Structures are given as structure tokens and as C-alpha cells.
Amino acid sequence: MRYRIRLAYKGTNYHGWQKQHNALGVQSVLDEKLSLLLHQSIETLGCGRTDTGVHAQMYYAHFDSENTIDCNKLIFKLNQTLPSDIAIQEIVPTHNNFNARFDAEWREYEYWIITEPNPFLHDFAWYQYGYLDIGSMNNAAKILLGKNDFECFSKVHTQVNNFICDVMLARWQHKNDKLVFTIRANRFLRNMVRAIVGTLLQVGRGKLNENDVRKILDSKNRCEAGQSVPAKGLHLTDVFYSNN
């Protein structure tokens, strides 16, 4: 039987979600604990990769089990045995064709910036000194909307068939003591959000304008875009399934 699992994790101590031979991923830790508790070999499949150090406030995966599971009991036991930076929020049975990765219709990320040092947000946000023109950054962000080739914002030498992404939302907002960039798309390329944020910050500082961003997008050249911002400010915040 197939089960869908919803979890959250602080990415500081992990090399992203994916299981790796030479580094610790969240998937490795979760699979180990699930296998131990269910007395069988469990391999989860997640809704996507996250880069090293990136956080997930909402993450989905699925796994198959030979036995019927008491989901509430398993949630409790997992949260007792997992490290405190991984939290299981929901486990539910789902149809056998459900795929946490390929059935996701869109994903949403936030990037957090603080303009005053804050020790309570140190692991979750990037501190930036000085004035940022939010209006200009939002005008430039509108250029990203719709279906575009985002090769200029992608990590080079990645194994993808194409660089087309459909961006449905891209905006900056003040949220309490944070400046938050929210972006939603049907798919994301490796390093894409962090490169976009780095480029838009250049707009906010007056070093680039909207036309520059359009030219960067059209160039399909990673060297034309801004530097990637640190991973610690990036959060996967939502994943949408219309039929799960």
C-alpha cells in the first residue's frame, strides 16, 4: 500500500533532501527510521530536491509498505526517533499511482532577508545592509511571470531536458521584520531561486533595471545573472496536488 507523508525540516545540517553516498540527506535519515519502525526496507520518493542548507516548511514524499499502518502511531514514533530538525506532520494512505514528485502541479518557495541583525533568524534569513527599492524589485520580478527559458538562472551542467518553467507568482513583501520574496512555478531548476534573488537584489540597489533583467533572461547565460544568495534564506513553503 502507498502512503503520502508530509514533513518539515531545518536544512542547516543536511545536504538537501536527496540521499547521497558521501553526504547526509534528509531522505537517508527518514528512510532509516521508517525501515526500523516498520521492520522492512523503506525507500521514500520526495517531491523534489532541495539544495544543501535549504529549509522545507512543507515537503511531501511517498513510500510503499507491505503492511497496513496505524498512521497516527507511526507519526508519534517517528517524531520520537527522528532528530529534532525533522518533523513528521502527516501520514495518510493514498492511491497506488500517486507520485510525490510527478503529481505536484506547483511548488512555492520563499526567500527571507533581514535588514537588521536578528539572532533568532540567523539560520533562516540573510542579512542585508542598506536600502532596497522594493517597488523596482517587484517590477523586475513581473518579467519572470509566465513560461520562459530560465537557463540564465540555472546551475550549469545539470541533467535536464529543457529550461522552461511556468512562473505563476513572483513578488516581494514585507512580512513582520522580514523582507520576503515568494515565487511559485510548475518546476524549478537547480539554484534557480537563489540566482533570481541575487539578480533582483541588484535591481533593488540600483545596479540593474527592468530592461537589464529582461536581457539577462533572454541571454540564457548564467554568467549574465547575479550571484546566488546563501541557501539558509530559502524555504520550500508549499506544494500543490489537485488529486492525491
Element (H, E) at 180: strand 178-185
Contacts for 161 with CB less than 8 Å, ≥ 6 apart: none
Residue 218: alpha-carbon gap to chain centroid? 25
- Which cell numbers hold the place of 186? 510548475
Question: Rounded to whole angstroms, how far apart are CA atoms 205 and 202?
Answer: 5
Instruction: Judge whether 85 counts as a catalytic residue.
Output: no
Q: Taking CA 230 as the corner, what is the angle to CA 83 and CA 128, rounded to the nearest 5 degrees?
A: 120
In this structure, the strands spanning 55-64 and 234-240 are parallel
Name the residue type at position 3.
Y
**How distant, in Å, are the alpha carbons of 40, 114, 124 from that of 121?**
39, 8, 5
Of 31, 51, 166, 238, which is the active-site residue?
51
Q: How far apart are the first and last CA of the chain?
A: 14
Across the chain, how many H-helices and E-strands are there? 5, 10
The residues carrying an active-site annotation are 51
